């Protein structure tokens, strides 16, 4: 765990301590990591964070199965309970790339948002969300960089407008900043954030420092 005070104040933030998570965050930070490896590293980090975030969270059912040598009561993920993955484009695509392999029963909705480099305010350029989400839907909202917090707050507001209870949302992020986490704490009590690292500084351009640069540009090479 890092030493940021925000982590002590905001108990819903989990900076997962697994060494593989630390490894992939380090690969992402390295400016010499080529785009192809960067995207693979982002996908692997997403897989691990999703695994951590869904511990004790997924709906299950119990039924009897027959093994080659005997009967057993077995626990399965309940396919009738909606589990939704929502990456915020475009960088969120890389972090969510392996979501379907971890959660084969999940459905994916896309939300495209960009940030004005001068005002740092978010705008929506693609919205593939349903008008109304099913009651009780569990949602993984995936945004690699929680910097100013403007984009993630706007995205959660969209989900709330469509009937989502914020206690049913888990945010997955590669790198987070204290200002963004504080904004989430203020606006959405009870929200849970799973992140690869919490970095201490947000510079005048709204970039996380040391961070990893522009996650979208580095993932896609453009």
pLDDT reported for residue 89: 93
Per the document, the length of the chain is 222
In this predicted structure, the answer to whether residue 180 has a pLDDT above a threshold of 90 is yes
DSSP SS3 for 117 = coil
Q: Residues near 8 by Cβ (< 8 Å), separated by ≥ 6?
A: none
The answer to whether position 50 is within a domain reads yes
56-83 core/surface letters (b: 16 or more CB in 10 A; e: else): eeeeeeeeeeeeeeeeeeeeeeeeeebb
pLDDT reported for residue 8: 38
pLDDT reported for residue 1: 42
The answer to whether position 53 is within a domain reads yes
Lowest mean pLDDT of 16-20, 118-122, 153-157, name the range.
118-122
In this predicted structure, the answer to whether residue 167 has a pLDDT above a threshold of 80 is yes
Average pLDDT of the residues of the chain: 91
The answer to whether position 6 is within a domain reads no
Question: Could you tell me the residue range of the domain that residue 131 belongs to?
Answer: 12-58+70-220
| pLDDT tens, position by position, 48-91 | 999 999 998 999 999 999 999 999 999 999 988 999 999 999 89
Distance CA 208, CA 1 (A): 18
In this predicted structure, the answer to whether residue 174 has a pLDDT above a threshold of 60 is yes
Q: What percent of the chain has pLDDT over 70?
A: 95
The answer to whether position 2 is within a domain reads no
CATH code for position 16: 3.40.50.2020
pLDDT reported for residue 116: 77
In this predicted structure, the answer to whether residue 189 has a pLDDT above a threshold of 90 is no
Q: Residues near 150 by Cβ (< 8 Å), separated by ≥ 6?
A: 115, 120, 121, 122, 183
DSSP SS3 for 95 = helix
Distance CA 61, CA 218 (A): 41
| pLDDT tens, position by position, 3-45 | 444 443 444 899 988 999 999 999 999 999 999 999 999 999 9
Domain count for the chain: 1
The answer to whether position 21 is within a domain reads yes
The answer to whether position 185 is within a domain reads yes
């Amino acid at each position: 765990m890092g030493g940021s005070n925000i982590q002590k104040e905001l108990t819903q933030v989990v900076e997962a301590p697994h060494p593989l998570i630390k490894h992939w965050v380090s690969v992402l930070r390295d400016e010499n990591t080529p785009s192809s490896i960067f995207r693979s590293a982002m996908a692997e980090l997403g897989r691990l964070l999703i695994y951590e975030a869904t511990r004790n969270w997924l709906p299950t059912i119990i039924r009897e199965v027959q093994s080659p040598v005997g009967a057993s009561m077995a626990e399965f993920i309940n396919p009738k309970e909606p589990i939704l993955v929502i990456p915020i484009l475009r960088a969120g695509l890389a972090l969510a790339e392996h979501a379907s392999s971890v959660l084969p029963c999940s459905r994916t909705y896309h939300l495209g948002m960009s940030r004005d480099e001068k005002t740092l305010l978010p705008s929506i350029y693609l919205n593939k969300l349903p008008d109304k989400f099913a009651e009780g839907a569990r949602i993984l909202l995936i945004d690699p960089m929680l910097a100013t917090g403007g984009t993630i707050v706007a995205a959660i507001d969209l989900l709330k407008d469509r009937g989502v209870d914020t206690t049913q949302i888990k945010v997955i992020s590669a790198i987070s900043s204290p200002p963004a986490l504080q904004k989430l704490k203020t606006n959405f009590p009870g929200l849970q954030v799973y992140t690869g690292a919490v970095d201490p500084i947000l510079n005048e351009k709204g970039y996380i420092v040391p961070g990893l640069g522009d996650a979208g540009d580095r993932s896609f090479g453009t």
